[in-house]
């Protein structure tokens, strides 16, 4: 058993194709300064959890499990067509005794262990759903179907949310019972009417999506490693 006698599981959705990155291999297998995104994402979580379930792109399961063959805490499964389906597939493999489950995008491979710890600490303090978030620098507008601005939410009330996101296990299971798709798991939890705590995030937990993000990531790794 892990922290405070509680069993922590982690799910890493890594099954996306990375269309916007435009590489010939899935995004989670792209190498930055000698290490793949999936290896980096695992490193920020593994020391703090009892098991990790990775949702791998179809036909890349063996390649990914080969990266972690010496670690018994890590299990690799096949992901789904959309992110929520990948998380749901991994969720079906989570240890039944899990008390808490973290969900961490492989694409946010520079999130630090400190970020993982902030999420875990909030769960242990009693929150049932926790997401890291950072302030937004842009003014954000809500638009209608014809591209006219409908409203301008106050920037101070907005946060750009990241991963790892943490949940009480039974709540994440309930959230995924709907079978709905969402870009993050907290949205499915909010739909149940459950409070989602936002703790401080970190700029480097930025999601690698575009070629410009990859250039940023390479510079970051070369500077820090
Ligand atoms: N993901 C997944 N299964 C999918 C789609 C996405 O596990 N069917 C994962 C990605 O691997 C990534 C995270 O969800 O770690 C966030 O998704 P995103 O950044 O959109 O990655 P991709 O879907 O791979 O990129 P794109 O949308 O550009 O194709
Ligand atoms: Mg995607």
Residue identified by tokens 């990241």 is: 162
User: At which residue do the structure tokens 């959705």 appear?
Assistant: 13
**Ligand 1 touching residue 27 (CB < 6 A):** yes
**Ligand 1 site, residue 78, Cβ cutoff 6 A:** no
Domains of the chain: 3-224 (3.90.550.10)
Give CA–CA dist 148/190, Å, rounded. 27
How far is the first Cα of the chain from the last one, in angstroms, to the nearest whole number?
32
From the centroid of its chain, how far is CA 148? 32
* Paired residues of 101 in beta bridges: 9, 167
What string of pLDDT tens digits covers the 225 residues of the chain?
666 789 999 999 999 999 999 999 999 999 999 999 999 999 999 999 999 999 999 999 999 999 999 999 999 999 999 999 999 999 999 999 999 999 999 999 999 999 999 999 999 999 999 999 999 999 999 999 999 999 999 999 999 999 999 999 999 999 999 899 999 999 999 999 999 999 999 999 999 999 999 999 999 999 999
Q: How far is it, in rounded angstroms, from Cα 175 to Cα 185?
A: 8
Ligand nearest to the CA of 210: 1
Q: How far apart are CA 169 and CA 201, in angstroms?
A: 22
- For the CA of 27, the closest atom of ligand 1 is 24
């Amino acid at each position: 058993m892990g922290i405070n006698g509680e069993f922590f599981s982690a799910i890493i959705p890594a099954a996306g194709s990375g269309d916007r990155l435009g590489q010939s291999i899935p995004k989670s297998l792209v190498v930055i300064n000698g290490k793949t995104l999936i290896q980096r994402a695992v490193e920020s979580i593994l020391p703090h959890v009892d098991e990790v379930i990775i949702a791998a792109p179809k036909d890349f399961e063996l390649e990914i499990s080969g990266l972690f063959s010496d670690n018994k805490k890590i299990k690799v499964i096949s992901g789904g067509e959309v992110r929520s389906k990948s998380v749901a597939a991994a969720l079906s493999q989570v240890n039944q005794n899990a008390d808490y489950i973290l969900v961490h995008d492989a694409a946010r491979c520079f999130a630090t262990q400190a970020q993982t710890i902030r999420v875990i600490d909030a769960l242990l303090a009693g929150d049932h759903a926790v997401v890291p978030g950072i302030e937004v620098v842009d003014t954000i507008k809500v638009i209608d179907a014809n591209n006219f601005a409908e409203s301008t939410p106050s920037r101070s009330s907005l946060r750009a949310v990241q991963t790892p996101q943490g949940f009480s296990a039974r709540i994440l299971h309930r959230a995924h019972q709907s079978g709905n798709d969402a870009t993050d798991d907290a949205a499915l939890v909010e739909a149940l009417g459950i409070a989602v705590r936002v703790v401080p995030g970190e700029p480097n937990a930025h999601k690698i999506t575009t070629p410009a993000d990859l250039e940023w990531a390479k510079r970051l790794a070369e500077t820090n490693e």
